[in-house]
Amino acid sequence: MPQHETKKCERCTRDFECKVGNIAECQCTRVTLTYEERVFIEEKYTDCLCGECLQTLQFQYRLYRNHIFRF
């Protein structure tokens, strides 16, 4: 039986279900991050984040990157 645990998102503090025992079904796998996006997030957070926060941070990184490369 896969292990699931309720975790608190480090960013927004909402509870979510982490499916560490069955990572293929975990909510975090629904957000595909590039290496650079992962580094950006890992510089700020050390624990799991909910899928919504992962998407938000991905969007913020892309805005930041696009702004930097325009100049």
pLDDT tens per residue, the chain (71 residues)? 557 789 999 999 999 988 877 777 777 788 999 999 999 999 999 988 999 999 999 999 999 888 776 65
The DSSP secondary-structure symbol of 19 reads: -
Encoded tokens for 3: 């292990």
d(C-alpha 68, C-alpha 71), whole Å:
6
Encoded tokens for 63: 């805005």
Q: Which pTM does this prediction carry?
A: 0.80
- For residue 7, the SS3 value is strand
